[in-house]
Amino acid sequence: MTYKITLIPGDGIGPEVSEAARRCVDATGVKIDWEIAEAGADVINKYGTPLPDSTLASIRKNKVALKGPLTTPIGTGFRSVNVAIRKELDLYACLRPTKSYLGVRSKYQDIDLVVVRENTEDLYAGIEFEEGKPETKSLIAEIEKLGKKKIRPDSGISIKPISITGTKRIVKFAFDYAVKHGRKKVTAISKANIMKFTDGLFFAAAREVAKEYAGKIEYEERLIDNMCMQLVQKPELYDVLCLPNLYGDILSDLCAGLIGGLGIAPGANLGEGLAVFEAIHGSAPKYAGQNKVNPVAMILSAVLMLEYLGEKAAANRLEAAVAGVIAKGEKVTYDLKSDRNDPSAVGTSQMADAIISALQ
């Protein structure tokens, strides 16, 4: 059969790593008819928006997308297109497995952690009030009246909604993932000692869900600050980590650091019958167009996509090819060499070629 899949090349390093991943998937022999869809700053002039309706329509129709990273202006400008895609399509579960590959330079070996990040709520909800605006002033006045707390008049405000519904479905996702993949434990993580009505609610709702899995999957809770230290000191104690949106974003970069960097850390955004696969890393603009960065994070995201499609054998072959090329350490990008200036490092497309050659 032929799958029709949306391919969003992205910007910055996106087009290079997306093309590498597309070639590797095609080389597995799985038949895919790629439908190219645009998004990002470069298409604003053409469509009047960084996220054209046609792109969302393509994902809705095809149900599966592979997406390169997209740049978000920092501090000002348009809101994240990446976050908008997740929210528009209700891709509520962000799955980020981080696992050690032999041959990668890292202080740690045998890391095998799965971050499950809630993808639609929390401080990422985009409910923000700009400093100095009339609505911000009236919100501050209302909060002072209702909450009997002082807020400095020159404050900007971001709202953090965390619901029982949103929490229960992400925790259920984490437990179901644990059951399906033979994992032992789910750790819920928040800062419930300080934010009692949001992070406290996250733990309370998580505990309810955990009861349904008692005797099958172990459940525990950690505070996010302690969790960061624990992961650096004894990552082997942890298994599946379930977090609200912001903590999940930060902690998955930490986990990527444990396995050797963002260049090899894949991800998936999953909803009810819809899925968008993308690396954890961003558009790394300073490397754009140089054929320099590591394509593996994007290729391993495509491996997750093949698994999702039910193409387990192709997924295993592609992952084995990636692992083989990394273990040999010859045809790898600069970030996988012990000296980052090693002249024998190859480019993005040459590493993809080596992975394709290693496919059996």
Query: What are the residue numbers of the active site?
Result: 124, 191, 225, 249
Min separation Cβ 312 and ligand NAD, Å = 25
Number of residues this chain uses to bind ligand NAD (CB under 6 A)? 17
Stretch that binds ligand NAD, among 28-36, 91-99, 224-232, 290-298 (CB under 6 A): 290-298
- Which CB, 136 or 294, lies closer to ligand NAD? 294
- Picking from 12, 86, 40, 19, the residue whose alpha carbon sits closest to that of residue 298 is 19
Nearest CB to ligand NAD, comparing residues 249 and 319: 249
| CA separation for the pair 336, 346 (Å, rounded) | 10
Q: Please report how close the Cβ of residue 13 comes to ligand NAD at its closest, in angstroms.
A: 6
Return the HEC string of 286-343.
HHCCCCCCCCHHHHHHHHHHHHHCCCHHHHHHHHHHHHHHHHHCCCCCHHHCCCCCCC
Q: Classify the phi-psi angles of 65: left when phi > 0, otherwise alpha if psi is within -120 to 50, otherwise beta.
A: beta
293 binds ligand NAD (CB under 6 A): yes
Taking Cα atoms as reference points, which of 146, 143, 167, 145 lies closest to residue 157?
143
Of 28, 72, 190, 301, the one binding ligand NAD (CB under 6 A) is 72
Cα(287)–Cα(12) distance, integer angstroms:
7
Which of the stretches 53-61, 70-78, 179-187, 315-323 binds ligand NAD when contact is defined by CB under 6 A? 70-78
31 φ/ψ angles, rounded to the nearest 5 degrees: -85, 120
- Of residues 205 through 234, those in contact with ligand NAD by CB under 6 A are none
Among 9, 69, 235, 324, binds ligand NAD (CB under 6 A): 69
Tokens of 331: 């045809």
- Which three-class secondary structure state does DSSP give residue 169? helix
**Given candidates 281, 299, 325, 355, which one binds ligand NAD under the rule CB under 6 A?**
281
Q: Which residue number, 281 or 317, has a Cβ lying nearer to ligand NAD?
A: 281
Q: Does 18 participate in binding ligand NAD (rule CB under 6 A)?
A: no
Stretch that binds ligand NAD, among 63-71, 91-99, 126-134, 305-313 (CB under 6 A): 63-71
Q: Would you count residue 38 as binding ligand NAD (CB under 6 A)?
A: no
Per the structure block, which two tokens stand in for 358? 């290693």
In the set 19, 311, 335, 353, which binds ligand NAD (CB under 6 A)?
Answer: 335
Cβ of residue 339: shortest distance to ligand NAD, in angstroms?
Answer: 15
CA 197 centroid distance within chain: 26
CA dihedral sign, ordered 75, 76, 81, 85 = positive
CA dist 162 → 85, 152, 165, 167, 197 (Å): 19, 24, 9, 7, 8
| Paired tokens of 174 | 């984490």
- Closest-CB residue for ligand NAD? 282
Give the closest residue to 273 by CA, choosing from 308, 298, 299.
308
Q: Of 72 and 245, which CB lies nearer to ligand NAD in the complex structure?
A: 72
Which of 8, 25, 27, 70 touches ligand NAD (CB under 6 A)? Answer: 70
283 makes contact with ligand NAD (CB under 6 A): yes
- Length of the chain (residues): 360
Told to check if 269 binds ligand NAD by CB under 6 A, we report: no
Q: Give residues in contact with ligand NAD (CB under 6 A).
A: 17, 69-72, 82, 262-263, 278, 281-284, 293-294, 297, 335
